[in-house]
Structure 1
Amino acid sequence: MVVKGRRATQADVARLAGVSQTTVSMVLNGTGAAQRRVSAEVRERVLEAIAVTGYSANPSAQLLAGGRSSIIGVYTYEPVFPHSGGDFYYPFLEGIEDEAERSGVDLLMFTSMSGRSGKSLLSTGRVGRLRVADGCVLLGRRSYPEDLAELLRQDFPFAFVGRREAPEGQAPYAAAAYGEATRAVVERLVDLGHERIVLVNEFTGHESIEDRSRGYREAMTATGLQPVTFDAPDLESGAFLDTLQGAGVTAALVTSDLAAPLRRAAMARGLDVPRDLSIARLGDPERPNGEDVDWSGFLIPRWEMGAHALRIVLRQLTADAAAGGDLQVSIPCTLVPGATVAPRQ
């Protein structure tokens, strides 16, 4: 049966194959458990009906033959595409691109689905558009748990660059091992004689901040010291520096974008960094500050995170995906001795 005079539909394919439209959709777009629910005999009937009707499910003809397009999507929740090689997000995207080339797949940038609106994919009805690709790498500081839950429910292969928690199930991700790196920085400060060490956070509620906080608390507790955390303090008035000095604080661990402002505020108060106050920066800043400072602390493995995220997506597309495999990967950070930390005076 060849459909003449109009474009063939999934309903035409379903009638000819003697199956439901849901089954046709699973054969064409399903991956993982969804596609495994269709028997080989039913799949062959559907594919034969597709050939007879001339139905085309999406722009990639490969989907009709093999169920895959060898296209992996990249979706960002903020405008993160770099303007130069020095951009914070550049290494993430470079790692994704390098791994795509090594693995023989193409990348599709979902630029028309930008998260500029501040809304989730689920609320805007755009989750389904990701299925143009076989799977997708998600990137950005912002994310929405409901999106992750829906992608897990649909059994759609994806991975986030950075640790993310989903309401139900385990969201695949490639993350930096912030907790382990933060513990190592605290241990170094303790070895240098510091006892009053504080953690200064940019904001709360983000998984990467929680990981740093956990590592700090664990290291301080293990050495018998009291953990003290400040969330988004006011560095302009000088009251925060007065608080640190009054409490006898000699070292501060600072999340990436607050490190430079804290150093400037300390120097404006006449403090020497690191003689009077050691400052360890917990990661690269998202916004370059233009200062030439040899920071102590650690660097984020951004290239590796991007490459691993794509590998995790591809792992979900392999024939043995059901056999398991680590879909949540934590990558060690690079510790940097730097010049902003010194022995306690």
Structure 2
Amino acid sequence: MSRTESRRVTQRQIAQLAGVSQATVSLVLNNRTGGDIRIPDETRERVLRVIEETKYVADPSARRLAGVDNRILGVFTYEPAFPTRSLDFYTPLLNGIEAGAEELGSDLLLFTSTPVVDGRRRLFHERNRLRLADGVLLLGVEMDPNELARLVIEGFRVVAVGRRDTPAIPYVGIDYTAATAQVVGRALALGHRRVLYLRLDSDGESVRDRYQGVLNATSATDVVLADRLSDGSDLEADWREITTFAPTLVIAESPEVAQSLHDRAVHEGYDVPRDLSIIALGSSPRVSPDDVSFTRLNPPRTELGQRAVHLLARLLSDDDYPSADELRTLLPCPIIDGATLSAPTQEARP
């Protein structure tokens, strides 16, 4: 079946497949409960399961609902993009998005009117203005899978920045699983056998992909692996874990956590990397020549932003619509050798 012959999934089709009314599908998509509205959990789960399993090929003509080639690309972030703590994550992404939009001669529209519910931004609400843009880029470590499914069903042109599990959502992501397994494998080849992994408390796909990379590298080995949730807010607890577990290698998902632990280790008289090696599964764009050169992943976030813009432009194109394989792609993640990984000088420092 060609692209032009494919039909987009509708709420009516979802209702038929799930054996419910179209009104029930709408209520589930809008996450409405309370008052006289009562949807059994089994029914809700059945509707969501059908949504997850439904395959979809976008019809580019639907974009004309947005205003016939306004050349406006929307940007929606599930987390605030501009607070200081978010700058390292979002700045290179936004730089790449801006550069990509300039190349295409398009304007960017940042959606900021979305309400915050239970501490998270909601994409759909009564003042929804998504249709003002021809297409929308979605940013965030965690995205609501129900909202992503609704975007698919309602025919929005969207591209997620980062890998997503939700079926039929186009994305450009980074292959964190392969890169993490590779850098951890280098450490194991040097002789590290006691490894502490400090990971973020998140169910985002990129976080899970890094964790899977650690597991892939250490499974079927004699490595003793311990892991702990850490966002850097409790350095004392992180350090107690190091002194108690006595690893020769610490893997820190957050570059900020890696920096804090490096400084503490040096203060305590550790030689980094001989007494304690440290790997960071990320990289700060604000690295200066005087900063510690961590052995680390260096996610190509600027390229990620540019590639996502170009994929969105192709979704809006009648002449250059991407193939199925091009709708969901992963970019390789470079590894910086750095100076914080070496063979351990002893099995573990007491």
Under a length normalisation based on structure 1, what TM-score does the superposition of the two structures give? 0.72
- Calculate percent identity across the aligned residue pairs: 37
- What is the aligned counterpart of 2:120 among 96, 118, 121? 118
State the 1:285 CA deviation: 4.6
Matched, 1:161 2:171: no
C-alpha spacing 1:34/1:191, structure 2 compared with 1 (3 Å): closer
Q: Is the 8 A contact 1:72 1:105 kept in 2?
A: yes
- Determine the C-alpha separation between the residues in 2 that align with 1:89 and 1:115: 19
SS of residue in 2 equivalent to 1:150: helix
- Determine the C-alpha separation between the residues in 1 that align with 2:333 and 2:303: 10
- Determine the C-alpha separation between the residues in 2 that align with 1:179 and 1:164: 14
Q: Is the 8 A contact 2:294 2:340 kept in 1?
A: yes
C-alpha spacing 1:68/1:222, structure 2 compared with 1 (3 Å): farther
Please give the residue correspondences for 1:1-345 in structure 2 after superposition, counting only pairs within 5 Å: 32-33=58-59, 35=61, 63=67, 67-81=68-82, 87-113=88-114, 118-122=120-124, 124-126=125-127, 128-166=128-166, 169-221=167-219, 223=221, 225-232=223-230, 234-237=234-237, 238-245=239-246, 249-256=247-254, 257-285=256-284, 292-319=291-318, 321=321, 324-345=324-345
State the 1:274 CA deviation: 1.0
Q: Which residue of the partner structure matches residue 10 of structure 1?
A: none
- Determine the C-alpha separation between the residues in 2 that align with 1:102 and 1:119: 30
Q: Is the 8 A contact 2:92 2:285 kept in 1?
A: no
SS of residue in 1 equivalent to 2:344: coil
Q: Is the 8 A contact 1:34 1:155 kept in 2?
A: no
- Determine the C-alpha separation between the residues in 2 that align with 1:34 and 1:315: 9
- Determine the C-alpha separation between the residues in 1 that align with 2:250 and 2:268: 16
- Determine the C-alpha separation between the residues in 2 that align with 1:119 and 1:94: 22
State the 1:278 CA deviation: 0.2
Q: Is the 8 A contact 1:241 1:266 kept in 2?
A: no
State the 1:72 CA deviation: 0.9
State the 1:202 CA deviation: 2.1
C-alpha spacing 1:254/1:87, structure 2 compared with 1 (3 Å): closer
How many aligned residue pairs are there? 281
State the 1:303 CA deviation: 0.3
SS of residue in 2 equivalent to 1:121: coil
State the 1:265 CA deviation: 3.4
Q: Is the 8 A contact 2:136 2:157 kept in 1?
A: yes
Q: Is the 8 A contact 2:114 2:121 kept in 1?
A: no
Q: Is the 8 A contact 1:200 1:230 kept in 2?
A: yes
Q: Is the 8 A contact 2:181 2:216 kept in 1?
A: yes
Structure 1: 4+ residue segments shifted above 4 A:
114-117, 285-291
Deviations 1:187-223 (A, max 9, x none): 2112222122232102142211110111111111255
C-alpha spacing 1:114/1:97, structure 2 compared with 1 (3 Å): farther
Instruction: Give the gaps of 5 or more residues in structure 2.
Output: 1-56, 346-350
C-alpha spacing 1:145/1:284, structure 2 compared with 1 (3 Å): same
Q: Is the 8 A contact 1:77 1:115 kept in 2?
A: no
Under a length normalisation based on structure 2, what TM-score does the superposition of the two structures give? 0.71
SS of residue in 1 equivalent to 2:326: coil
Q: CA RMSD in A?
A: 3.2
Instruction: Give the gaps of 5 or more residues in structure 1.
Output: 1-30, 37-42, 44-56
Larger Rg: 1
Deviations 1:162-187 (A, max 9, x none): 22332xx2322221211111111112
State the 1:137 CA deviation: 0.7
Q: Is the 8 A contact 1:32 1:317 kept in 2?
A: no
State the 1:156 CA deviation: 0.8
